[in-house]
Amino acid sequence: MIAVALPGFAPPYNSGMEIARERFLDDSRTYHLTVGVRSRTTAAHSLLSALTDDERAQVSAAIVKALDEVERIVRAHMTSAAK
C-alpha cells in the first residue's frame, strides 16, 4: 500500500514515498495506529520507487507483522472497555 492524502487534505510538505499500514485497535476507533516506511531522501525515494509490486507486498507484510507486535505490547495499556 502506498499512503495517499485524503481528499481535501494536502500535507504541508512533500512526504516522499511511503509504504504504510494502519489499524484501529478497538471498535470505538479511539486507538488508531500507523506503521510505515517513508523515504526521507531522494536516494531512498528512488529505492522504494524501484520496488516491484511483489517486493512492495513483502514490505507491507513485514510492516503488518511489526504492527501485530506493537499491538501486542500496547494492548495491556489500553482501557479495559476498549480491549
pTM: 0.71
Query: 50: which 3 cell numbers?
Result: 524501484
pLDDT in tens, 47-83: 999 999 999 999 999 999 999 999 999 999 987 555 5
Q: Tell me if 16 sits within 8 A of 33, measured CB to CB.
A: no
Residue 70: phi and psi, rounded to 5, are: -60, -45
Q: Which run of H or E residues covers position 55?
A: helix 53-74
Mean pLDDT to the nearest integer, 37-52: 94
